[in-house]
Amino acid sequence: MTATEYDIAIIGAGIVGSSLASHLAPHARVLLLDRDLAVRGSSGHNPGFVGQLNRLPPLTELARRSVRAYSTVPGGFENSGCLEVALTKPELEMLRARGALARASGMKATLVSQAEARRLAPAFVEDCVGGLHFPDDGSADPKVLAKHYQAQAASAGATLLAADVLAFKEGAVETSEGVIKAKRVAVCTGIWGTQLLPLPMAGAVVVGQGYAYSSTRRPRTASPIIRWPGVQVYGRDHGDRDGIGSYDHAPVHVPTSDIGGHSTAASAWNKAFTGALARALALLPEQTAARFYGRTLAGTGTEDAAAAIIQAREAGRAHAFNSLFQVTSDGYPLVGRVQDGVYAAVGVWVTHAYGAAGVLTDMILQDMGKGEEKDEDAEIRRVLDPLRFAGKDVVDDALRTYNDIYNRKK
Ligand SMILES: Cc1cc2nc3c(=O)[nH]c(=O)nc-3n(C[C@H](O)[C@H](O)[C@H](O)COP(=O)(O)OP(=O)(O)OC[C@H]3O[C@@H](n4cnc5c(N)ncnc54)[C@H](O)[C@@H]3O)c2cc1C
């Protein structure tokens, strides 16, 4: 279709592929391809929580680099802070240890009393024994960010093309719009990673998670994003409504064989989410929870709450949905060289996307003879190696990590 030979074709224009395109476009002839440039993959459904501290230091570093970049994009990152809430004394001890880890990593984190936790987030926090406040965290808007990076790439000369990639081989990408010449390929296709690169990408296992939005309300004073790490719940103020999610349920695995049936990262509601969501909503002050159910449920049990969630969903009063993303058995995404001229970045969270794309950019530019990989990133490159799971069946191990998103148990 086009006589241009691109230095690199980036497949997938979610937060990861779009970031990579913006990094590379000033240095190379870049083609950014997506079957749907409107950002309807995981990035389009992501509720935007960005907590930078991870037990795995390379991920904390990638998060810091990403937040630094997101903060410069208008509407891309809101520095509202993050409040982690403890419901029991042992949870408070766990937060105390996380606070010490944060400060040792050069991050700000302050242990706060019950009264202070309530003052910081009155619409979310009721019962608690204290909390840990991270003032530098906040929420991202991955759609705004991906669109921004797409525009930045285009203004630096990249070509954006809406096309389905069917396959690629040395020097050519076969698409729904014809065959395109490209010297290199970067696969940034998120949950669809196994379709174009079956073997190495099998380490990034696709799971579903439910998230619910309340009915709309008048904006109130902004509060930090909230996590209840002991009960695996997170919530936030989305401006004109609230949102809450829970991973307090058995992992809902989407096998590789089913991925082709998903044209977006949104999927059918799974009944495993309903009970988890009902337990999550029980943590909120009654007035806040009522906006999710569409009515007051004071004094009723989890089963009534679950029924109310279903009714509110069906009546269109609350928007609860299932969306898909990936987990790996060691907590790291898969980012790097797959073979000569073929790169991958899948299983990457929004929290780490811009930083991870930067590390991959250095690798690609080095291979093009236009730069050098940074010595200080050697450990990051090692842990992200996309071939580390090749030939291993790690699905069960990956699913076991589902309930440990900050890698506290590693
Ligand atoms: C409910 C939920 C909660 C989450 N919470 C958080 C959170 O709190 N913090 C956080 O950091 N992350 C969170 N995540 C994870 C995060 O959203 C994802 O890891 C991230 O968005 C993945 O970005 P991506 O660019 O790799 O993939 P995507 O955004 O899915 O982009 C991949 C793109 O590839 C395109 N594509 C695929 N195959 C082809 C093909 N053959 N040809 C052409 N185009 C193709 C798709 O159309 C898509 O646009 C959450 C995700 C979900 C769903």
The 3-state secondary structure of the chain reads CCCCEEEEEEECCCHHHHHHHHHHCCCCCEEEEECCCCCCCHHHHCCCEECCCCCCHHHHHHHHHHHHHHCCCCCCEECCCEEEEECCHHHHHHHHHHHHHHHHCCCCCEEECHHHHHHHCCCCCCCCCEEEEECCCEEECHHHHHHHHHHHHHHCCCEEEECCEEEEECCEEEECCEEEEEEEEEECCHHHHHHHCHHHHCCCEEEEEEEEECCCCCCCCCCCEEEEHHHCEEEEECCCCEEEEECCCCCEECCHHHHCCCCCCEECCCHHHHHHHHHHHCCCCHHHHHHHHCCCCCCCCHHHHHHHHHHHHHCCCCEEEEEEEEECCCCCCEEEEEECCEEEEECCCHHHHHHHHHHHHHHHHHHCCCCCCCHHHHHHHHHHCCCCCCCCCCHHHHHHCCCCCCCCCC
Q: Which atom of ligand 1 is nearest to the CA of 352?
A: 11
- Determine the distance separating the centroid of ligand 1 and the alpha carbon of 144, expressed in angstroms: 14
User: Which pLDDT belongs to residue 95?
Assistant: 97
* Per-residue pLDDT at 113 exceeds 60: yes
User: Which pLDDT belongs to residue 327?
Assistant: 92
Q: Which atom of ligand 1 is nearest to the CA of 189?
A: 34
* Per-residue pLDDT at 206 exceeds 80: yes
Helix axes 142-155, 15-24, angle to 10 degrees: 30
Q: Which atom of ligand 1 is nearest to the CA of 45?
A: 53
pLDDT tens per residue across span 329-368 = 999 999 999 999 999 999 999 999 999 999 999 999 999 9
- Determine the distance separating the centroid of ligand 1 and the alpha carbon of 325, expressed in angstroms: 6
Q: Which atom of ligand 1 is nearest to the CA of 326?
A: 19
Q: Which atom of ligand 1 is nearest to the CA of 166?
A: 41
| CA 186 to each of CA 24, 50, 189, 200, 322: distance values in angstroms, whole numbers, following the listed order | 11, 25, 9, 14, 28
Contact assessment for residue 292 and residue 309, using Cβ atoms and an 8 Å cutoff: yes
- Domain assignments of the chain as residue spans, ordered by start: 5-45+142-203+331-391, 78-138+205-327
User: Which pLDDT belongs to residue 1?
Assistant: 52
Tell me if domain 5-45+142-203+331-391 and domain 78-138+205-327 are identical in fold: no
User: Which pLDDT belongs to residue 296?
Assistant: 61
Q: Mean of the pLDDT values across residues 6-20?
A: 98
pLDDT band per the 50, 70, 90 thresholds, residue 69: very high
User: Which pLDDT belongs to residue 307?
Assistant: 74
* Per-residue pLDDT at 157 exceeds 80: yes
Q: Mean of the pLDDT values across residues 321-325?
A: 86
- Determine the distance separating the centroid of ligand 1 and the alpha carbon of 320, expressed in angstroms: 18
- Determine the distance separating the centroid of ligand 1 and the alpha carbon of 88, expressed in angstroms: 34
User: Which pLDDT belongs to residue 263?
Assistant: 81
* Per-residue pLDDT at 406 exceeds 60: no
- Determine the distance separating the centroid of ligand 1 and the alpha carbon of 104, expressed in angstroms: 31
* Tokens describing residue 379: 């450990």
Topology adopted by domain 5-45+142-203+331-391: FAD/NAD(P)-binding domain (3.50.50)
Q: Which atom of ligand 1 is nearest to the CA of 346?
A: 26
35-39, 152-156, 300-304: the lowest-pLDDT one: 300-304
Q: Mean of the pLDDT values across residues 376-380?
A: 98
Q: Mean of the pLDDT values across residues 384-405?
A: 87
| pTM given for the model | 0.94
- Determine the distance separating the centroid of ligand 1 and the alpha carbon of 246, expressed in angstroms: 18
| C-alpha to C-alpha distance for 123 and 156, rounded to whole angstroms | 44
- CATH code for residues 78-138+205-327: 3.30.9.10
Picking from 22, 250, 265, the residue whose alpha carbon sits closest to that of residue 156 is 22
User: Which pLDDT belongs to residue 12?
Assistant: 98
Average pLDDT, the chain: 91
The pick from 37, 189, 225 for probing ligand 1's pocket by mutation, whose C-beta has the most ligand atoms within 8 angstroms, reads 189
Ligand 1 proximal residues by C-beta, below 6 Å: 11-17, 33-36, 41-43, 45-47, 49, 142, 164-165, 188-192, 195-196, 209, 211, 265, 323-325, 346, 348-351
The pick from 349, 351, 360, 401 for probing ligand 1's pocket by mutation, whose C-beta has the most ligand atoms within 8 angstroms, reads 349
